[in-house]
Structure 1
Amino acid sequence: MQLLEHFQDYVDESTKDEIVQQIYLTSKNICDASIKIEDENRLDQTQKLDAIFTSKWLGLPIMLIMLAVVFYITIAGANIPSSWLTNGFNYLEKYLSEGLTAIHAPNWVNGVLILGLYRGIAWVVSVMLPPMAIFFPIFGLLENYGYLPRVAFNLDRIFKKVGAHGKQSLTMAMGFGCNAAAIISTRIIESPRERMLAILTNNFVPCNGRWPTLILISTLFMAAGFTTGAKPLVTTLMLVGMVLIGIITTLLVSFLLSKTMLKGVPTHYTLELPPFRRPKFWDTIVRVSIERSASVLKRAIVIAAPAGVLIWVIANISIGDMSLLTYLVDFLNPFAKSLGLDGYILLAFILGLPANEIVIPILLMGYLSTGALTELDDLTQIKHIFIDHGWTWLTALNMMLFSLLHYPCGTTLFNIYKETKSVKWTLVAFLIPTAIAVGVTFTVTQVVHLFQ
């Protein structure tokens, strides 16, 4: 293996694969002659499944189908519990408001605590918890089953062709849960150059904080003209499309960086695929639901609470005849309009820097004249708020694209700084996706306007 690493810069890819294959076959022959395998049926079953899951022609389509199934189950299953939580929070709010009235609390106290703090937290919990409680356990079962290493195997050649490392696919898969955690997981990549590629491009994978925005906007606008039964399917296809855009962007940016700022030859490595194993169903569901969902939800609430208070305050402080919120929105509006958005949307993304989870709550608060998130019994009311503020399908599409491609959240940026120990690379990690998000939404907007 040392000989292979020494000559990796001087041999082509097919020669490397041939050397690795011969090493594997030699090792297998030695093991077959000296080691007795107790469960040959299990080994044979793993080999048969690998012939399908890692097939040159079937591997990637199966991966996309599995991803679509996970999304569909998440979307279809989250609607009812989300509605229950919303109704529960609305019911509890009445008693909280009556309690403040009973103690003769000033109106601003009710505004800050109920209209800002409480409703911001209620939105985050009711919208985020049901999808996370479904998505994370299913993803955990696939991980426990041993499928994720097969995803890395299928994507290995693609990443090497763009100058990156095959292990980047594993860190990318981690990014579906949390980009901040994925940055730490890049430690599995030994090459500093290729690790930096993984760090700079991981943001293009939609994390749990972006799923609520992507799911909500897709459901309200992209699947609006379809029947109730077809809506989850259309939303699923839109989400798969967004994931593909994110993966393609990751590959393109990796290729460009490997030819400019991070030049070098991809490191060759051998990925050992573990055997398929029956997942510990209930243990995985309970552990993942509690650990991952609770952790993400806690972070979202801690950040959403002060954000809810802040947006209420700036919406209710007036300078002259206009609120501070209106001044900020008017300042951002010209630039935002060129991106197919508006000043409220851009302000929501700016204030949402600490966590992507709070972008939609901030946006809704901003759209309402009092800066308060009103009681929303169903998604139709949210759509009416958006349409009343000039939203079209183009606004919805650009909202999804900007959410997918824009700069990392505050926690991810902090982890990038900790891992790189460099202000320069942290700034690069912020500027690259920001420039891409602005460029893509600007181009889409101008092209659509050109043909209208």
Structure 2
Amino acid sequence: MEQSCRLDGGAFPTMLSIITLFLIGGAGGLTGSLLGACILVALIVLGVLMTFLVSRLLSATILKGVPSSFTLEMPPYRRPQILKVIVRSIVDRTLKVLGRAVISAAPAGLLIWVLANVPLSGQTTLLTALTGFLDPFARRLGMDGCILTGFLLGLPANEIVVPIIIMTYMARGSLLEVEGVQLMQLFTANGWTWITAVSTLLFSLMHWPCATTLLTIRKESGSLKWTLLSFLVPTVCGIILCFLFTTAARFLFPA
């Protein structure tokens, strides 16, 4: 529960794309690979440090006085039953997780389609209105309304954050994949700078868990309070971190 960042596989495609396009620059080959790896490792280390910091703060505030213990009960030794292990793994570890993913992904997919295709007036869609509403707040965090909308609508899976951002920039009614030079040109044409890239990386590292993780937390803890806390704590940390970085970067490197 005391977690301020999610070092899961879903966020890595977004982070690697941004690092490759904006932070490595023209470096290629072995040099580019090493530089990208160093930046990614630095982000992971930052995430671990933030986890320790937030855990310490929670232990001194919300969780103060709550006993923390770890008990490991050793079960009786039995000969492994290969077929039973395979069946239990498929049912408990695969089908149930996929079921939770479908539960969250189906409504989210419908919501994305409705926002992108239902017009308000003229050429304005619900998605355009949403990005415009979020834009002033997102600018203070070093991003824009399209990026923040991508994170919000990407709640079911972090892998779809970038496709949603692309769809919003291109004003299309469906998710798109754009790679390499075209993606770089699309982002820079919509005002991306190195500050935007770093802020997006920080928020990708720190923001709320995906819907499947939240459903798992709700099921395992049996508590809506801890589920909401698992959503709010990393999100608030991400907002604060992005705001502090953007403010300092704009002060030290004015346009």
Q: Which runs of 5+ in 2 are unaligned?
A: 73-85
Q: Is the 8 A contact 2:101 2:156 kept in 1?
A: no
Aligned length, in residue pairs: 231
Q: Is the 8 A contact 1:312 1:365 kept in 2?
A: no
| Residue identity in the other structure for 1:340 | G
**2:50 paired residue number:** 249
Matched, 1:339 2:138: no
Correspondent of 2:164 among 351, 355, 362 = 362
**2:173 paired residue number:** 371
RMSD of the TM alignment (CA)? 3.0
**1:167 paired residue number:** none
Q: 1:391 to 1:308 in 2, by over 3 A?
A: farther
Correspondent of 1:239 among 14, 29, 40 = 40
Matched, 1:396 2:159: no
TM-score normalized by the length of structure 2: 0.80
Q: Which runs of 5+ in 1 are unaligned?
A: 1-198, 271-286
**2:31 paired residue number:** 230
| Residue identity in the other structure for 1:323 | T
Higher relative contact order (CA 8 A, sep 6+): 2
**Displacement of 1:320:** 1.4
Q: 1:445 to 1:247 in 2, by over 3 A?
A: same
Q: Distance in 1 between matches of 2:38 and 2:114?
A: 39
TM-score normalized by the length of structure 1: 0.47
Matched, 1:320 2:115: no
**2:214 paired residue number:** 413
Deviations 1:315-358 (A, max 9, x none): 23221121221111111110011111111111111111122121
Q: Distance in 2 between matches of 1:200 and 1:375?
A: 35
Correspondent of 2:17 among 213, 216, 220 = 216
Q: Is the 8 A contact 2:2 2:58 kept in 1?
A: no
**1:261 paired residue number:** 62
Q: Distance in 1 between matches of 2:110 and 2:135?
A: 23
Summarize the alignment of residues 14-29 of structure 1 with structure 2, pairs less than 5 Å apart: none
Summarize the alignment of residues 251-290 of structure 1 with structure 2, pairs less than 5 Å apart: 251-263=52-64
**1:352 paired residue number:** 154
Q: Distance in 2 between matches of 1:398 and 1:362?
A: 18
Q: Distance in 2 between matches of 1:366 and 1:250?
A: 32
Q: 1:298 to 1:238 in 2, by over 3 A?
A: farther
Q: Distance in 1 between matches of 2:184 and 2:109?
A: 20
Q: Distance in 1 between matches of 2:106 and 2:218?
A: 26
Q: Distance in 2 between matches of 1:306 and 1:423?
A: 20
Larger Rg: 1
Structure 1 residue runs of 4+, over 4 Å off?
A: 264-270, 295-310
**Displacement of 1:312:** 4.5
**Displacement of 1:249:** 0.6
SS at match of 1:444: helix
Q: Distance in 1 between matches of 2:55 and 2:177?
A: 44
